[in-house]
A and B are shown apart, each in its own frame.
Chain A
């Protein structure tokens, strides 16, 4: 069994309104050093067999929306 971690993030050029709200809240809590927050998603897949091309296909077909999101694939140790 292989565990694969897919991280989906908004494209850097896009405004992350939720991240902006969280950044504002952190600053209000006294964490003045926070200049930006981006929120993404972690999707952990348990796979019987690992084939990177197939995981990439899963991302392209469903897990990420290429119009607004980027993704990275990592195999967990």
Chain B
């Protein structure tokens, strides 16, 4: 397993992602550049957080039209693992690889704190290692309010494609536990195949005790379970 951490101009969680994968999880990972057109030699894609292209036009809009996205689409189609975190989630939505959109937080504030998440889906390759208890993962975003129309929401629910919901420490869904006003308390969703995961919280910031927690490992360790 070798993971491509894609760098766009303005990515700023790319080094965190690479460090987390390599040093905390022992997974082979290297950077890929947004203008690359060939990801052969890689088995999975990590779209990191940041402010790709300065968030110009809309978050993730320009990045989602970058040359490397053709390869990311191929990975998605072939059932390979693809994860987009924060700005990476926005890129996946803008690219049409995941439904819906991410809008400005209801509070109009950038929110940087640790939240609790409850896993929804239990069968996706990304979700098999995630425990039933709430997990603790940091968020840092100004535009993380997930939104989609009612038909899409119903499809996500019926097809078991909600990966994570914001909850409190005891696993209860409360207005206070939802940091941005996301519909249905959604923090992350999956594509139809379950191999593409988009989420606003940062699992790569929670893979080491030294940095405050290791619950992120329960998600990212999925990559070590996948054989090339």
Residues of A within 8 A of B (CB): 14-15, 17-18, 21, 61-63, 65, 67-68
- Chain A residue nearest to B94 in the complex (CB): A65
Q: How far is the CA of A15 from the CA of B181 in the complex (A)?
A: 11
A-B interface, 3 closest residue pairs, ranked by CB to CB distance from nearest: A67-B101, A68-B101, A17-B104
Q: How far is the CA of A15 from the CA of B61 in the complex (A)?
A: 20
A17 x B108 contact (CB < 8 A): yes
B57 x A14 contact (CB < 8 A): no
- Chain B residues near A62 (CB, 8 Å)? 57, 61, 65
Partner of A21, one of B93, B108, B149: B108
Interface centre among B103, B105, B108, B147 (most CB of A within 10 A): B103
Residues of B within 8 A of A (CB): 57-58, 61, 65, 93-94, 99-101, 103-108, 145, 147-149, 181
Interface centre among B101, B105, B107 (most CB of A within 10 A): B101
A28 to chain B, nearest CB (A): 15
Q: How far is the CA of A67 from the CA of B93 in the complex (A)?
A: 10
B57 x A68 contact (CB < 8 A): no
- Chain B residues near A68 (CB, 8 Å)? 101, 103, 147
* In the complex, number of A-B residue pairs with CB atoms less than 8 Å apart: 33
Summarize B's interface: helix, strand, loop or mixed. loop
- Chain B residues near A61 (CB, 8 Å)? 65
Partner of A14, one of B61, B99, B107, B147: B147
B41 to chain A, nearest CB (A): 30
- Chain A residues near B57 (CB, 8 Å)? 62-63
B108 x A65 contact (CB < 8 A): no
A17 and B106 contact, Cβ closer than 8 Å, known pairs A62-B61, A67-B148 = yes
Q: How far is the CA of A15 from the CA of B101 in the complex (A)?
A: 13
Q: How far is the CA of A67 from the CA of B95 in the complex (A)?
A: 12
B162 to chain A, nearest CB (A): 17
B92 to chain A, nearest CB (A): 13
A15 to chain B, nearest CB (A): 8
Partner of B58, one of A15, A18, A21, A65: A65
Q: How far is the CA of A5 from the CA of B214 in the complex (A)?
A: 50
Q: How far is the CA of A61 from the CA of B58 in the complex (A)?
A: 13
Q: How far is the CA of A67 from the CA of B65 in the complex (A)?
A: 16
Instruction: List 17 contacting pairs A-B, 8 Å CB cutoff, sorted by A.
Output: A14-B103, A17-B104, A17-B181, A18-B104, A21-B108, A62-B61, A62-B65, A63-B57, A65-B61, A65-B94, A65-B101, A67-B93, A67-B99, A67-B101, A67-B148, A67-B149, A68-B147
B108 to chain A, nearest CB (A): 5
- Chain A residues near B93 (CB, 8 Å)? 67
- Chain A residues near B104 (CB, 8 Å)? 17-18
